[in-house]
């Protein structure tokens, strides 16, 4: 069972209306793709640079490409959080580097919270207030400091693709009860996020997802190249597919690196998370899992005639008596996805 996410209908309508401001429609594939390429090149050349919101091509690219893609990724992260009860008892959200409110828009689909958006550029606020009237925010502010956190025990600090533009988490975030961080799923940002995890654990936070334990992260400590990320399927609308035909990058599946942490301890979890795609090898298929500080794999031996491909990022129940050979757990029965 793969995990599929799409663009919500009300987002699509709002994006189409906003594009009309630039004399564009969702069907102007070539013009839209040119804007996307320009912003993609900008992010590649200046990975820590500030999103150039003053440029109309950057606004168009965010509306028709980064907003739908990031919203799909965030919906997957939010669904994972909701499964664990992560958002329970929270009342306020501080969405730092909100951009087009991507994360708050996505979270507000299911969580009725008070959303404050912190965004240094003015253009995103104008676009959201004009074209996404279904989203109700408390306020938009340009900067934030500790005094702005009035109710820390009920506040979620939200960093959606914005930590990448900072050297470290800002001080005020450590006062908040909960943090949700999503980062570009690149090796560099992904490994930086795993180091942020270590720091948050040292400061007394507990990880609710994706980690199933609070020990050292095996992807960080036992490998110099791995980084934790999950994978979802993106069910793109037709106009998006036409635009994508003009682009070198394809997005049938999307990866996400994220962290959900709180000061409150989560309920114990008796599960492992699948952190690798299927590796087809001679005599067996393998997928990496995480359930503690060891780097471990599930192995489906072809001779047992059980074939299973578990979505990367899913939680699974492990039978108690699995045979372990080296770093491989031999799977004797079909595993249950939680």
Question: Between 121 and 259, whose beta carbon lies closer to ligand SAM?
Answer: 121
Taking CB under 6 A as the criterion, the residue among 28, 31, 92, 119 binding ligand SAM is 119
Helix (H) / strand (E) element for 273: namely strand 272-274
Q: Residue 307 and residue 284: Cα distance in Å, rounded?
A: 10
- Contacts of residue 21, Cβ cutoff 8 Å, sequence gap at least 6: none
Q: Does 68 bind ligand SAM (CB under 6 A)?
A: no
Taking CB under 6 A as the criterion, the residue among 68, 81, 97, 190 binding ligand SAM is 97
Contact of 332 with 326, CB cutoff 8 Å = no
Closest separation in Å from C-beta 298 to ligand SAM: 32
Cis peptide before 210 (omega within 30 of 0): yes
φ, ψ for residue 6 (rounded to 5)? -135, -175
φ, ψ for residue 218 (rounded to 5)? -65, -30
Question: Between 55 and 165, whose beta carbon lies closer to ligand SAM?
Answer: 165
Question: Between 87 and 161, whose beta carbon lies closer to ligand SAM?
Answer: 161
Supply angle C-alpha 258, 210, 6, rounded to 5: 60
Q: Does 102 bind ligand SAM (CB under 6 A)?
A: yes
Q: Of 93-101, 202-210, 215-223, 238-246, which part binds ligand SAM (CB under 6 A)?
A: 93-101
Residue found by looking up tokens 């795993």 in the block: 194
Q: Does 59 bind ligand SAM (CB under 6 A)?
A: no
Q: Does 190 bind ligand SAM (CB under 6 A)?
A: no
Q: Of 91-99, 191-199, 288-296, 330-338, which part binds ligand SAM (CB under 6 A)?
A: 91-99
Q: Does 55 bind ligand SAM (CB under 6 A)?
A: no
Q: Residue 263 and residue 283: Cα distance in Å, rounded?
A: 45
Q: Of 12-20, 46-54, 205-213, 282-290, which part binds ligand SAM (CB under 6 A)?
A: 46-54
Q: Is the Cα torsion angle 172, 184, 237, 242 positive or negative in sign?
A: positive
Q: Does 98 bind ligand SAM (CB under 6 A)?
A: yes
Q: Does 70 bind ligand SAM (CB under 6 A)?
A: yes
Using DSSP, how many helices (H) and how many strands (E) does the chain show? 9, 17
Q: Does 234 bind ligand SAM (CB under 6 A)?
A: no
In 3D space, the residue among 146, 202, 197 whose CA is nearest the CA of residue 176 turns out to be 146
In 3D space, the residue among 67, 62, 131 whose CA is nearest the CA of residue 103 turns out to be 67
Closest separation in Å from C-beta 20 to ligand SAM: 21
Q: Does 104 bind ligand SAM (CB under 6 A)?
A: no
In 3D space, the residue among 128, 2, 7 whose CA is nearest the CA of residue 73 turns out to be 7
- Contacts of residue 88, Cβ cutoff 8 Å, sequence gap at least 6: none
What spatial distance separates the first Cα and last Cα of the chain, rounded to whole Å? 11
Taking CB under 6 A as the criterion, the residue among 18, 39, 117, 118 binding ligand SAM is 118
| Alpha-carbon distances of 153 from 67, 138, 264, rounded to whole Å | 30, 18, 10
Taking CB under 6 A as the criterion, the residue among 50, 151, 187, 188 binding ligand SAM is 50
Residues in contact with ligand SAM, shown as a per-residue x/- string from 142 to 181 under the rule CB under 6 A? -x----------------xxx--x----------------
Residues in contact with ligand SAM, shown as a per-residue x/- string from 120 to 139 under the rule CB under 6 A? xx------------------
Torsion of CA 173, 185, 141, 63, to 10 degrees: -160
Number of residues that bind ligand SAM (CB under 6 A): 19
Taking CB under 6 A as the criterion, the residue among 11, 65, 66, 258 binding ligand SAM is 66
Q: Of 9-17, 98-106, 247-255, 285-293, which part binds ligand SAM (CB under 6 A)?
A: 98-106
Q: Given the rule CB under 6 A, which residues bind ligand SAM?
A: 50-51, 53, 66, 70, 97-99, 102-103, 118-121, 143, 160-162, 165
């Amino acid at each position: 069972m793969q995990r599929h996410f799409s663009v919500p209908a009300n987002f699509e309508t709002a994006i189409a209306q906003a594009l009309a401001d630039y004399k564009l429609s969702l069907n102007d594939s070539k013009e839209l793709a040119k804007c996307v390429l320009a912003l993609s090149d900008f992010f590649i050349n200046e990975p820590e640079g500030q999103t150039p919101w003053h440029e109309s091509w950057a606004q168009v690219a965010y509306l028709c490409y980064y907003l739908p893609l990031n919203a799909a990724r965030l919906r997957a992260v939010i669904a994972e959080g909701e499964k664990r009860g992560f958002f329970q008892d929270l009342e306020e959200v501080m969405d730092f580097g909100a951009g087009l409110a991507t994360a708050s828009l996505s979270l507000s689909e299911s969580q009725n919270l008070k959303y404050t958006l912190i965004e240094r550029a003015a253009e995103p606020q104008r676009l959201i207030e004009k074209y996404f009237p279904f989203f109700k925010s408390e306020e938009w502010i340009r900067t934030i400091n500790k005094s702005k956190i009035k109710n820390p025990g009920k506040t979620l600090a939200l960093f959606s693709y914005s930590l990448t533009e900072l050297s470290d988490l800002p001080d005020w975030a450590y006062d908040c009860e909960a943090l949700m961080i999503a980062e570009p799923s690149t090796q560099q940002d992904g490994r930086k996020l795993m180091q942020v995890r270590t720091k948050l654990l040292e400061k007394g936070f507990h990880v609710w997802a994706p980690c199933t334990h609070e020990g050292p992260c095996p992807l960080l400590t036992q490998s110099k190249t791995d980084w934790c990320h999950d994978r979802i399927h993106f069910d793109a609308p037709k106009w998006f597919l036409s635009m994508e035909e003009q682009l070198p990058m394809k997005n049938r599946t999307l990866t996400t690196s994220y962290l959900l942490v709180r000061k409150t301890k989560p309920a114990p979890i008796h599960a492992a998370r699948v952190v690798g795609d299927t590796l087809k090898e001679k005599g067996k298929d393998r997928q990496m899992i995480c359930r503690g500080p060891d780097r471990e794999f599930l192995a489906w031996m072809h001779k047992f005639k059980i074939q299973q491909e578990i979505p990367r990022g899913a939680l699974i129940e492990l039978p108690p008596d699995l045979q372990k050979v080296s770093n491989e757990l031999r799977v004797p029965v079909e595993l249950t996805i939680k």
